[in-house]
Amino acid sequence: MQSNLELRIGNLLSQQHLTLATAESCTGGLISDRLTDIPGSSAYFLGGIVAYAYEAKAALLNVSWDTLNTKGAVSHETVLEMARGARRALNAEIAVSVSGIAGPGGGTDEKPVGTTWVGLVTPKGEWTRHFVWNGNREQNKRFSSEAALQLILDYLEGKLP
């Protein structure tokens, strides 16, 4: 089910002649799924890497073990490394990444269930956003995909510092 967000992103990527890749953990491919709901998305969406486990983040996205072991998978540093890795692996101009704790388990005092980081890496800069959702697992995944798409749109519309 496509939303206005995916359409707007697709139109702007096409107009700006930019390509996009995704690196997803807690969303399990939901961002890629939403992007490909738009007919003609192959013109700008190159692909996505779902890297759920630490091993996959390291092997597929070149996230450093040092980052994973010291900062954790759900961190500012990890989502930037994930996005850099997807951008490099798929040769895209823009890459978005997400890593979070969807729940219902897995949370800690420092990182409760719902904690999520979204990252964006482009030729013009790198950005992250931090969220703590309070939904169930499915809702948290949806909220995270929405936040990632919004970050892409904000970049394409020139709304990022």
Q: What is the CATH number of the domain that holds 106?
A: 3.90.950.20
Q: Is residue 32 part of a domain?
A: yes
State which residues form the domain around 121. 4-156
pLDDT in tens, the chain (161 residues): 557 999 999 999 999 999 999 999 999 999 999 999 999 999 999 999 999 999 999 999 999 999 999 999 999 999 999 999 999 999 999 999 999 999 999 999 999 999 999 999 999 999 999 999 999 999 999 999 999 999 999 999 999 99
Q: Is residue 108 part of a domain?
A: yes
**SS3 per-residue string spanning the chain:** CCCHHHHHHHHHHHHHCCCEEEEECCCCCHHHHHHCCCCCHHHCEEEEEECCCHHHHHHHHCCCHHHHHHHCCCCHHHHHHHHHHHHHHHCCCEEEEEEECCCCCCCCCCCCCCEEEEEEEECCEEEEEEEECCCCHHHHHHHHHHHHHHHHHHHHCCCCC
Q: Is residue 17 part of a domain?
A: yes
Q: Is residue 106 part of a domain?
A: yes
Q: Is residue 61 part of a domain?
A: yes
Number of folded domains in the chain?
A: 1
Q: Is residue 93 part of a domain?
A: yes
pLDDT tens track for 45-91: 999 999 999 999 999 999 999 999 999 999 999 999 999 999 999 99
Q: Is residue 161 part of a domain?
A: no
The pTM of this model reads: 0.97
